[in-house]
Structure 1
Amino acid sequence: MTAAALPATTRVAIVGAGPTGLALAVTLAGAGVDFVLLDRLAEGANTSRAGVVHARTLEVLDELGASAALVERGLVVERFRVRDGRRALAALDFGRLPTPHPYTLLVPQYDTEAVLLARLRELGGDVHRPYEVAKAEQDEDGVTLTMATGETLRAAYAVGADGMHSVVREAAGIGFTGSAYEQSFVLADVTMEWAPGRAEVALQFHAAGLVVIAPLPQDRYRVVATVDDAPREPDAAYVQRVLDERAPGQAKVTGLVWSSRFRVHHRVADSYRNGRLLLAGDAAHVHSPAGGQGMNTGIQDAFALGRALAEDRLDGYEAQRRPVAERVVAFTDRMTRIATTRNPLLRTARNLLLPVAGRVPAFRTRLTTELAELDYR
């Protein structure tokens, strides 16, 4: 839609058209709830960022009518393998999980957004771009959103799906408790020759830090690594050096598609609602990318919030979803700290205990269920 198409009023204003905002819009459109979805960018992002869609999210997308199209675009992987250098420590198999989707789907975030947008348009909705929300003010009867251009939108409710630096969260006066990790993270999509192959996601431990290698469609790989001080835009040679250090002799990078450096926080909003202002996705929680659960948790937030808005039971939304965020943040924080410890004694203990625990079926089932977020139904 063009900028001129902004209506004067709506029931639900959604700020941010990433996966969370799109999933919320699809949920509302399917329920016949009037909404306006706003985004400050003139077009959707074309970088891949999140690359993992877990089983519980695919179950949600089943209900939204979007899973089949996404699976067609993605790469189905059933196994995660944990190593320290060349030494295998544990293997996690998703193939026996009690779900219609017993696997992890590897797919770039722009494909997830494209599928959700196509589904939204099938239902008669769209994104209003570019509209940057500069201010959100609520009263007893509704919320007034003021754009950077001075235009206004009146809504009964406004949802912040606008990321870690949420304008809606700030307007609501909701705290964002937590802190940042000391290390920076490198994210890169590359083409490469990778000895373990494309049938698994590899979590590589090393004294210098964690590196995760996941296959993506189009013969690409996603590389995520913790580093002390990464360059702003890591090049192929930098990614190769990280892999040579942490997975020696296993990788040969042949091309760089996209890369970024970022800092990671672990935070949860003090509440998910203040009156008519609500939060979902990264506006409500951010955490380590270990396990690939950020976008997944946000899409599940959106589905729960959309149903709560449609069924007029908003009081239950925070009670349902905030404990999930606390659990995901705590789980990914533990994973990150275990994977990145540089204490020689702790590394030795970890590498001795993981193979033992990994042979226990209950441990493997518990860990795969947690990663797949199936306990969050």
Structure 2
Amino acid sequence: MNTVPATASVVVIGAGPAGLTTGIALADAGVDVVLLDRLAEGANTSRAAVVHARTLEVLDEFDVAAELNERGLVVGQFDLNDGPERLATIRFDDLPTRFPYALLISQATTEEALLARLHRAGGTVLRPYTVTAVRGDDTGVTVEFTDAAGDSGSIRADYVVGADGMHSVVREQAGIGFTGASYPESFALADVRMDWPDPRTEVALHLAPEGFTLVAPLPDEQDDRFRIVATVDEAPEQPDLAFLQAIIDARRPGGRIREVLWSSRFHVHHRLADHYRAGRVLLAGDAAHVHSPAGGQGMNTGIQDGALLGRLLARVLHGEADTLLDQYEATRRPIAQDVVTLTDRMTRMATLRPRPARALRNIVIRTAVLFPFVRRAIAFQLAELSTR
């Protein structure tokens, strides 16, 4: 555990992808930045598993994209199925970008690469420190915390960035509302080794009356590692092999799970912070927006938040007007609103149960994707290239 200094120009709370990217942008600009995280070490589970084209463009500006490409798995298409019926195939290979694909990679690996990049910029993450209070005034912000032994301390900063997740202490302390709701279903999430009949060059979303199941390949020397995300009425806290195999058998017969490497259950919310800024306190990542995992947009949106916010803060700390920070919410909040709306529609479409509604949905999808411009528009939006 490192000692927290008495002061810093910026304190970033939370060392996930959004917080790390913010820290890199600040450290690159020579800003005195301190990152605090409540975990004793970085998370080692995969959670988010895709990096989209626009995020790779952003990370390429920080010289991180090449490393991720070396360690990830390139996937060229997204397939949508209802049982044995293929409804749509969305390809990424003709997108106007240097990265015309989705990169499948564990979030733990992405965070590892970002942390190493932060260290190269001269920054570090101080752990484990739990933030208990955030108090701002006209001249700065005081952050109070406790360490692993329960001892308390504080640090004074010009600005504070809350990148501390959906249950953000920073957001709550700043009095910023978090408007939205929760989905009734629970989500089972697992990384498994399995025999899978489809190519490892595609991500597939399988629709069924019981719910949707996303199956995505993950990079692995044995070429048998996959991510499974499935909606169920009520998932166990740690879904086991039998539970997950039953889902595959019901929704995409033909896959055989041989080992569960990691699993979890979670409930999904669709929420958006009422504001991204309260004086000298700003929000990024899941502290500002949460939504369904459909489309794999969450981590990507947070990384892009951090890149812009870090650069704007650096400019202000180097002498530009504080009003420059208003650009952050004006730019990023509408993008998050669009992501929340998109993923909500995808989730509700995918979880339809009445047979007539499912039949109509399938007809609409099959008809729409007959047109190349529709397929391209969907790929463009999934890749988040519209956020440029």
TM-score range (shorter-chain normalised) is over 0.9
Match of 2:372 in 1: 361
Q: Which amino acid aligns with 2:186?
A: S
Tell me if the contact between 1:120 and 1:126 (Cα under 8 Å) persists in the aligned partners: yes
Match of 1:296 in 2: 300
* 3-state SS in 2 of match to 1:64: coil
CA displacement, residues 217-265 of structure 1 (integer Å, 9 cap, x when unaligned): 11310000000011000011111000100012x2000110000000000
CA displacement, residues 129-182 of structure 1 (integer Å, 9 cap, x when unaligned): 111111111111100001123111000001100000001000110000000000
Q: Which amino acid aligns with 2:99?
A: H
* 3-state SS in 1 of match to 2:239: coil
Aligned pair partner of 2:337 in 318, 326, 341:
326
Q: Which amino acid aligns with 1:331?
A: L
Q: Which amino acid aligns with 2:298?
A: G
What is the CA distance between 1:95 and its match in structure 2?
Answer: 0.4
**In 2: Cα distance, 1:198 partner to 1:371 partner:** 19
CA displacement, residues 157-209 of structure 1 (integer Å, 9 cap, x when unaligned): 01100000001000110000000000000100001011112110000000100
What is the number of residues matched between the two proteins?
374
Q: State the TM-score, normalizing by the size of structure 1.
A: 0.98
Uncovered stretches (5+) of structure 2, i.e. residues with no partner? 317-323
Aligned pair partner of 1:82 in 80, 83, 87:
80
Aligned pair partner of 2:267 in 245, 263, 267:
263
Match of 2:355 in 1: 344
Q: State the superposition RMSD in angstroms.
A: 0.7
Match of 2:23 in 1: 25
Match of 1:214 in 2: 216
Q: Which amino acid aligns with 1:102?
A: P
- Which piece of structure 1 moves more, 307-316 or 324-333? 307-316
Match of 1:47 in 2: 45
**In 1: Cα distance, 2:232 partner to 2:348 partner:** 13
CA displacement, residues 42-71 of structure 1 (integer Å, 9 cap, x when unaligned): 100001000000000000000111111111
Tell me if the contact between 1:3 and 1:131 (Cα under 8 Å) persists in the aligned partners: no
What is the CA distance between 1:351 and its match in structure 2?
Answer: 1.2
Match of 1:113 in 2: 111
* 3-state SS in 1 of match to 2:129: coil
Q: Which amino acid aligns with 2:387?
A: Y
1:241 aligns to 2:256 (yes or no): no
Alignment of 1:281-292 (within 5 A): 281-292=285-296
**In 1: Cα distance, 2:294 partner to 2:326 partner:** 31
* 3-state SS in 2 of match to 1:33: coil
**In 2: Cα distance, 1:170 partner to 1:89 partner:** 43
- Of all paired residues, the percent bearing the same amino acid is 58
Match of 2:258 in 1: 254
Alignment of 1:159-238 (within 5 A): 159-218=161-220, 219=223, 220-238=225-243
Q: Which amino acid aligns with 1:223?
A: I
Uncovered stretches (5+) of structure 1, i.e. residues with no partner? none
Tell me if the contact between 1:190 and 1:254 (Cα under 8 Å) persists in the aligned partners: yes
